[in-house]
Structure 1
């Protein structure tokens, strides 16, 4: 298993505890967990196109071709019947540094993806030594300090780089650094081994299945969309949860996907085009409610009480993404700005939800301010909503707060380094889910 030095611990616990708001005794465990690579890889099968059994056979064949008799196990979880998991390799020690090989440096974002089984795409390559040839094996390092200049041609010497694995070069320097966008794209290095033990498969996503984190799949199951309903996905890009909603609805009903970035909406159009029930709009969800109460048949803003179910996968600090390799932490002021946006979005969601409807609030972070405190604020602010149990329950209960009783904490779902999340089968990213129901009267 991959255990880098925590990028947070050297910054002093006071700052991190101010931001993360967890019990001081639990902070080192949390920070260490965030710096480790999740052990499992998960795919969500599009059951409108294929069966889970057929896709499992396809995955097993690809793994057999790659790893032979050492191919990792493919299995499912009964709570999420559309999901398949790939276990870690039994022998990750094969990823060993070879001093005879040249070195290649990637940024921390690329490095984190590499440790989760990805290959290296051209934009992530910071440095490649002169003379590196096609098909040559190289030692791959991540630049933790962020000081390596893109295009560096000599061996990058630094105490703040970390060995990640060995890869085979598919692009040379002139393809990577000639400022030609067309050539400087695609896979630059095919990873042969990595130190995390996660299979190096790249992204096998296609129309039949999608690489997706386990909690994101749980999130839509908690929402529980039904055929024929009207569902709003307030912050939809890149559209993975949106398509999951449509699949659970049998592509029957109405799924409205909003995002405030035009480029992100364009980017997910090809994915959403395979579904009849999805309509996507470039629109700021903090303004999704039509204050005049007028019904608009062509798109947002919408009249109050327009939707049966609403998913608010809110913009957040993203501190649940693992592994965290960066040596810098976001400024406290930046982190503290997210709850303001999240509250504005929640206020819109409550108004747009029909009586008796379901609202799911989720984040891919671990800060108390964006998770449990946001839930406590919503319950104070909107007496017409109440917490309900976020089933299926694969995560741990929420953190204890004075404003939330024990029963309410049990209804929440937090993915983190708790006892419930320590098994390989549930080792995933940090995430938070809360489910609300609006009063019928």
Structure 2
């Protein structure tokens, strides 16, 4: 058993050289940081429906019921008044591993969610020992090399599985592995009681009043700063979390256009968007969102030049800022190199769609220079009508230095990385990048 301090790398994968390609001064801190779990849990409160102070009291009561006098505190940050943070648990005592308990194996994606406070849903369970009963306590492990066969009934022997915590079984083997393709198993299979990360095991408490959301994603929409009555485009909107935040900051007054090229993702976010009259969602390829010959204001894509006051381009990316990285599956270098091409195509559509004087925010949930600082440098060269402006509120660190970006420009950027580098110290988040541009009036 071990808890990784560096990712479990697939055969032949050179993470440093082929994937990250970040500034050499950042790399030594970055790799171990990517394997650690962000210890702060954040919820964004829907201020159109509820008061933040009331929701804070509700959340603190739930924690007190779960943990008693050792319940972690709920706190806020003045820069993000609609957000509440849950502190980590006191981990002075190690989470106990008991040899007498049966073992349950999950995949690394499920394991990463578990370490961030989630319970285990049925699709994530790879192996459960024969005879495991309902309500029984089990030791939960993640299969780092990905060699555990789905449905394994015996104890999985592997030197590279890691202990994650202890859970209580809510579904048995016959429910998990019923081979019914029309009705695959769903719901919580194991309720986690403890985990090794120190993040409270609450599951997802999201409802109409609050949404579990990563802190940098909340910062991102605050940087966009949408105003009531404006016309705003969210170019790559699914799953809709940032879209609803935009609508809430606008007081549900104005127009928010949400695009995504996947019909299933657009359908999946409809229930989330239904309570916001200002949002219109469309299945559409945002790389074709600009109608060069169009005129006037349209509700459906494509759109004419200067159609929007603000644009959020939360671009498709390699996702290498997600934490914890329990394993790193082999990705073809060509696939990773394809993301900047997609990002540039989207950017080239966003600029003409933005009105003179309008604001464009570019963001990614990754840490590579090619998709972050290098993309900014390219945009400034390619579009002289764009000016890089301060991405406030500034909680993350400045951008990494590049030959094409001077120190003053790097200060305007926001990169969320190892906590010590952030402007708000000890702010433990996923990796993220934010840049804000303003289009000239002429």
Please say whether Structure 1 and Structure 2 have the same fold, judged by a TM-score greater than 0.5. yes
Contact residue 175 and residue 183 of structure 1 kept, 8 A: no
Which sections of structure 2, spanning at least 5 residues, go unmatched?
A: none
| CA RMSD in angstroms, aligned pairs only | 1.7
**Which residue matches 1:159?**
159
Which runs of no fewer than 5 residues in structure 1 stay unpaired? Answer: none
Distance (whole Å) between structure 2 residues aligned to residue 149 and residue 85 of structure 1: 38
SS of the residue corresponding to residue 337 of structure 1 reads helix
Mapped contact 1:92–1:196 kept (Cα < 8 A): no
| 2:130 corresponding residue in structure 1 | 130
2:16 maps to what in 1? 16
CA distance in 1, matches of 2:95, 2:419: 29
Question: Is 1:94–1:193's contact at 8 Å kept on the other side of the alignment?
Answer: no
| Cα 1:83–1:250 shift into 2, 3 Å | same
Q: Partner of 1:197 in structure 2?
A: 198
Of residues 402-411 and 287-296 in structure 1, the stretch that sits farther from structure 2 once superposed is 287-296
TM-aligned CA distance change 1:91 to 1:418, over 3 Å? closer
Match of 1:353 in 2: 354
- The match for 1:436 is 437
Cα distance between partner residues in 1 of 2:434 and 2:330: 24
Displacement of 1:426 in angstroms is: 1.1
Partner of 1:95: 95
- 2: distance between equivalents of 1:390 and 1:423? 14
Segment of structure 1 superposing worse, 412-421 or 209-218: 412-421
Relative to the length of structure 1, the TM-score reads: 0.96
Shift of 1:15: 4.8
The normalised TM-score by structure 2 is 0.96
1:391/1:18 CA distance change after superposition, 3 Å:
same
Give the CA deviation at 1:419: 2.4
Structure 1 distance, partners of 2:173, 2:390, is 54
Structure 1 position 4 matched with structure 2 position 1: no
The match for 1:235 is 236
SS in 2 for 1:114: helix
Q: 1:345 to 1:81 in 2, by over 3 A?
A: same
Instruction: Give the C-alpha shift of residue 328 in structure 1.
Output: 2.4
- Deviation of 1:343 after TM superposition, in Å, equals 0.1
Question: CA 1:248–1:319 in structure 2 vs 1: closer, same or farther (change >3 Å)?
Answer: same
> Does the 8 A contact of 2:44 with 2:212 survive in 1?
yes
Confirm or deny: 8 A CA contact 1:8 1:329 kept in the other structure: no
- In structure 2, the CA distance between the partners of 1:253 and 1:310, relative to structure 1 (3 Å rule), is same
How many equivalent residue pairs?
440
Report SS of the residue matched to 2:93: helix
Q: Which residue of 1 aligns with 2:341?
A: 340
Asked whether 1:378 is paired with 2:379, we answer yes
Give 1:13 deviation, angstroms.
9.0
Distance in 1 (alpha carbons) for counterparts of 2:90 and 2:425: 12
Per-residue CA shift, 1:228-249, capped at 9, x if unaligned? 0000000000000000000000
- The Cα of 1:4 is off from its aligned counterpart by 1.7
Conservation of the 8 A alpha-carbon contact between 1:226 and 1:248: yes
**How far 1:28 sits from its partner (Å)?**
2.9
Q: Aligned in 2, Cα 1:196/1:47: closer, same or farther, shift over 3 Å?
A: same
Cα offset for 1:125? 0.3
Once the two structures are superposed, the pairs formed by residues 186-335 of structure 1 within 5 Å of their partners are 186-295=187-296, 297-335=298-336
Q: Name the counterpart of 1:139.
A: 139
Deviates more, 1:417-426 or 1:360-369: 417-426
